[in-house]
Structure 1
């Protein structure tokens, strides 16, 4: 049954027909074209499935590339025409409803994998053929020698009928005879070649051992050798060959002649060079890619004593916005223009520029004076980006963040150098971008530690490495414990106990703050219930709320569910939100807090006085507690207390009480502070004067100071 023309099978069949028509003329297959097309059909199906697969599988495309070699598609033009065909028609005939950009990217990756598979298969086939030729050369040596001794006619038949080039010379290197295949390889007549000496064919790319092996052979010290060798043709082009040279002896074993057998590998080598170029260069910009850059960097780092290197890691600022607003085509044109400008910056010996991917470029300089040259290189890069790039009638300003690493060769690996440059570049970007930063080992170490903590965070929550300590909140009027603030800690396997300042910002950056915050709230509410069951009076638990949690749609429902599961009333919970998180907050952000406050949950404005909020805004915020920052109490540690601090605290307490807000003070460390705060009318306090944060079972056994004096 034939496939429906517009069905999936029919479209794959059309792709196969186009493919076979393109490559059949340049194959060496003995099959008719119709049978060759049938051989390509399952390969087209494999490409179609790989294009639409959920995850990319380079193995499928590599297998297709290898299958082309098996189908006698060893001419480099077979691969070139195949890649052109796949690029033009695979997405057209075999794509699905996925975005076109995504399909095009997948097709491009498949083409690279096909080329890699083709190159690997061709290389393996070449190695096998080389071995066969070497064995054939040994056999031919005996056959030709026997023919020479037995019959001139037999010798001529073997010599002229050979498919590979054969030449015979005496031991002084005078060329005596060449067959037709060798004449065609060099493009000259027999008489021209017979007038030359073997030594005339020295080539600049000859391997060091080539002529040593030759001398050993003509001296009778070896019977044959095999090398890869280049020759210069009369038209100026290079002829690359697999060369086997054998020594011919007479019946008594005395050396008489030398015989060379040559297989033309020029096109195979050109294909290898093309594939090597494609594997080491960026398809869009033509710059060296990450692979080639790492090769050059490793070579620079392995240089001898006294050699140094300098590296500039560039990331374009705001490139994503250009891509999103003007489209990927405009983004690609911008990258090409930037690449051209960067290439013009690296023209000195020992300099190169590469594209690592996306909008990231790297420039390398080597030598003995890179402390100076890398600064000059960075300045040239900065100047190259000053002129706007014109695209589609728009002048786009290009800015970049640059991380610079410089140092002696031999002290670090390529991966360590690039990591340092990457960290430094992001430091420049974090400082506002459009600037250069020089690598700092201490900053690198901090960044590496941060990265390690970031990657360990998700599994740390799963493994139960977090725990909560509680610091008492003391009523200043009678010194009783009215509640406690929950403070999360991380017991890290390598770094020990980490405070929230070490990992909360990382959790906020990665989004893990939502599940971590939910866990802290759940554990704290469970602990509040346990306290209420053990004590006569109710204890309130204070839990810090991250700005990221404020915007999470599940905040209110999560809180309600946790309270209900624990059987705890909302008045047992106080959520602390920093003043900075609520500066300029709109009704959308305040809505979940209002709902929680209406339920009976207290909302505390934490670190009050450190931000720049208008005091009039307090009336619109759903808060019931102000927590004064510890900076207001520092001036009360000595006697007499700082009168300015006293006036400020007195004013805030008066304002808060007039708005029916309670006042809690953080950072109380001395009895003088506690006495003064009580006289000023503060309601509750916490700090080391009363107790340091500790495990929940210690909360009611702590020897609390008498807050009333």
Structure 2
């Protein structure tokens, strides 16, 4: 027989060997299959589309599904609805990047019960060169519960359940970073129970513990939001106000906490009255790191105890609260215009002889969402410092002109609307264009607009800027000098700028009926204005006595000047009225009306005039 052909015995041997190898492979496969199924690890294989192709018994047991309920379906069936989109996106990124990962996931079983798993995902290519993802899943729900318990114990006080010092310090560090980034304050309140040692000594430590628990519960319930109430130990409670914009909110919170102790605590069936003392440290004034802030708040607390128990004390007794308020107010001002928080009020200007409403001064107010209605002295200086006065001033002028035109369209007699200007507005290259554009857009007659400036504006303006005002005057717009008498009161100012009116500051009229000096100054201004052909507007008339005395001065000055009047006018008006109106055509003040919103001013226009006594 040829050596190229195997004998029957050789073939039998080879077949027998192959059968043994096949049996071995089967045994290995069975062992692996058994291992996959009995191992306390869920195993799944999904294809590129995310469809299950294989799941082991433990995986099915873990999620409560039979194999046939999973195979061919998308893996997202075990993902909570709120996370489906994110997990599907991550699967696509995984198949694209081919990078193995280990992550924790929240999943749901067939009963829609949620639990936590640790999933290790491995990318591989099968025998058909198709990409697959194998995932090894471990249920770590119990482990997470234990971790949560340990974490809670590590960060909370065992007696009261409040956050402890460790929790407080970590959150304080986070809050300090936000303060630095977003330019706001935070406050730390260090609270200590007054004479707590006496309670422990007299009533026992169990009563002391119950009191601490009651205090913690009362603080927790009363301080909601993002405040953090913690217990540092003993009878020391520390409170974090992580985001503060106004000093008022700090002091109001402090007062609220102190008042919590007005109500007695019920301990072992008996009422127990106790007070607390509190110290307050504020970032950045009293420190910029946790240690300094807490130390200073603690120091302030001992000051409060020494002063009078049952109160609070700021660490910096000389703290410049207005500086902090200005800082936060300036931040808010950037949003005031775009969020329609600004509003105009109007104060009537009245003919001194007839009581008719002949004009109005437009006065800006800020309807702040937290601080309420703010007058211009609270925010206009800030606007002038940061340049916001330009858009704000334009808004005021535009709103006042539109409103004046609206009243005229409703049939009310035309009146002059007075608007205050800032030097920054006048210095703008497009100042004249801005004013004329607003007049055209609002269809307001230039004669019905009066622009008010102060002497300081003239002092800060160059000739070119003053020429802008003169050009506007040539269009028919009235120019008046506001607060005359409190600034430089320079005659050269009046010469350089041809104004129509001088508005006499209210400080000269406040006690004009009692102060001879103010009376003499006012009379001198009257004579000066008359010699320059100007008309005065007294503002700040608040009482009938002031008004009566003002009329006496005007009458005396008129007779002294011996003003000549047109014979034609004498036929229609009495001589005294003409002389008075030449000196002082109109006045304004609370005697007639405070500044009021547009709708309330319209009610005044309906009456047309005030009764002049």
TM-score scaled by length of structure 1: 0.38
Higher relative contact order, structure no. (Cα contacts within 8 Å, ≥ 6 residues apart): 2
TM-score, length-scaled by structure 2 = 0.44
Larger Rg: 2
